[in-house]
Amino acid sequence: MVKGASYDRLKTFDPHSIIGQYGLDLACGLIYRKKPQSLYVQTDELPIARAVVRRFLGCFDEVLVDRIEIAQSISTDYHILARVYNQSEVEAAILPFSRKRWPTPPNAELVVVVAENSISYKSLILPGRVPDSVVAVRRWLAQTHSIQECWGILDPVFIGRIAISKLAGHRIPTLHFWASQRALDNIYVTGLRALVSHITLLTGSLLKS
């Protein structure tokens, strides 16, 4: 982490962290189910764009991005046709922690949004500094898309199990490993638990006029 940098710039998302891996794995898995031929990665962060594209090597005819530097990096390193998005309709788009930078969703048949959620335990640790919420994301995506799914990562049950595992430690190893395993086995949640998870993922299908 760069000393003195703003929270919004650094986010709490690292594409190479454990939570980053889980978040992008789920988001990319939701896209892969539809087997689109092209993908728009809506982010101006090169490491995040590269982390997304690496999960789809050999899956797409082309990848659309927001900056020429990102397109060049992807084309050179991954040998994938990449070009700058021109606002035309695409089959699928992913917004990894970037949706607040645009007033409306991209013109894509399928949109997957990954965002932090202020309606979660994270607001207790960083009050007023969690930059998004599941309510705002739903309202934003519903402008042009029908909400299909809502997933969450790091919900209160997960945090509780991790806390039990930490407290048990080496003193109660059976409880330590059981609670830790139960947490990891249920890291992805839906329903009400998704609404209070730290990381939220929503999918939307383009509304037809």
Give me the phi and psi of 180, to 5 degrees please: -65, -45
Name the architecture of domain 12-154+188-206: 3-Layer(aba) Sandwich (3.40)
Beta-strand pair 38-41/90-96: parallel
- In this prediction the pTM is 0.87
Is residue 204 within 8 A of residue 111, CB to CB? The reply is: yes
* pLDDT by 10s per residue, the chain, length 209: 333 333 343 444 677 777 778 889 999 999 999 889 889 999 988 999 999 999 998 888 789 999 999 999 999 999 989 999 998 889 999 999 889 888 999 999 999 999 989 999 888 888 878 889 999 999 999 999 999 999 999 999 999 999 999 999 989 999 999 999 999 888 999 999 999 999 999 999 999 86
Number of helices and strands (H, E) in the chain? 9, 8
